[in-house]
Amino acid sequence: MGHATLAIDYGLLSQLPAPQAEMESSVKEAPAVNPARPADPSTPTLAKPLSEDSSKLEELRALKEYAIKKDMENEGLKEELNALRRQLADQEAELNKVKKRKSKKEKSLSSP
């Protein structure tokens, strides 16, 4: 069974606008600010949207760190795979040299 691969462009994802329903609900929840009257510092006017945004930002940051960690791990595995391929190629070349020497010795022994 094959494995599925998912690639996420986090830079592009972060540029997407928020869904319309979330934007409308946050506008309804936000209290109106009267510019003639200063806001009461004891009233948490934007506390909920800020905490939601900060948790989303924290989650996004964690996902970015995870993606970077996985990319680094993949690069290390690629390097290891290339080293193993080179090692296998060297071993095959050495084996071919031994086979050629053996076949030359057999030819020289079989010819009178």
Residue 10 forms part of a structural domain = no
pTM exceeds cut of 0.75:
no
Q: Please indicate whether residue 30 or residue 18 has the higher confidence score (pLDDT).
A: 18
CB atoms within 10 A of CB 53: 13
Query: Residues of the chain with pLDDT > 70: what percent?
Result: 66
Residue 107 forms part of a structural domain = yes
With beta carbons less than 8 A apart as the criterion, state whether 39 and 45 touch: yes
Mean pLDDT of 44-51: 58
pLDDT confidence of 49, banded at 50, 70, 90? low
6-20 burial, b if ≥16 CB within 10 A, otherwise e? eeeeeeeeeeeeeee
Residue 24 forms part of a structural domain = no
Domain extent for 92? 70-112
Residue 55 forms part of a structural domain = no
Overall number of domains in the chain: 1
pLDDT at 35: 47
Residue 79 forms part of a structural domain = yes
Calpha distance 100→107 (Å, rounded): 11
Residue 96 forms part of a structural domain = yes
Residue 63 forms part of a structural domain = no
Residue 3 forms part of a structural domain = no
